[in-house]
């Protein structure tokens, strides 16, 4: 069994495309091996999390830094 650290670039671009297609008021960005989603509203961020959980691309996602 092997473990992945971070999100592969091809999967990250697919996740960014899903977020942009959803028209949520958030800004996705790929930073190295991480996917960062920022926004003004907690509700929009929670909707983005729900979207990513539903379409996780087969990745075990972890969400951090809820500020």
Domain region containing 29: 9-54
Is residue 63 in some structural domain?
no
pLDDT at 25: 93
Give a yes or no: residue 30 inside a domain.
Answer: yes
Q: Which helix (H) or strand (E) holds 29?
A: strand 26-31
CA distances from 53 to 1, 7, 35 (A): 23, 14, 14
The total domain count for the chain is 1
Per-residue pLDDT at 26: 93
pTM: 0.80
- Would you say residue 18 lies in a domain? yes
45 in Cβ contact with 26 (< 8 Å): yes
List, for residues 8-67, the tens digit of each pLDDT value.
888 888 889 999 999 999 999 998 888 889 999 889 999 998 998 888 777 787 888 766
Look up the CATH number of the domain holding residue 41.
3.30.70.860
pLDDT value, residue 1: 63
CA dihedral 2, 29, 65, 19 (to 10 degrees): -90
Beta bridge partners of 28: 37
In sequence order, which residues have a C-beta less than 8 Å from that of residue 20 and are 6 or more positions away?
A: 28
């Amino acid at each position: 069994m092997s473990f992945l650290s971070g999100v592969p670039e091809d999967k990250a671009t697919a996740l960014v495309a899903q977020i942009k297609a959803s028209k949520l008021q958030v800004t996705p960005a790929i930073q190295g091996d991480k996917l960062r989603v920022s926004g003004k509203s907690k509700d929009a961020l929670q909707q983005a999390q729900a979207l990513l959980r539903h379409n996780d691309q087969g990745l075990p996602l972890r969400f951090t830094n809820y500020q």
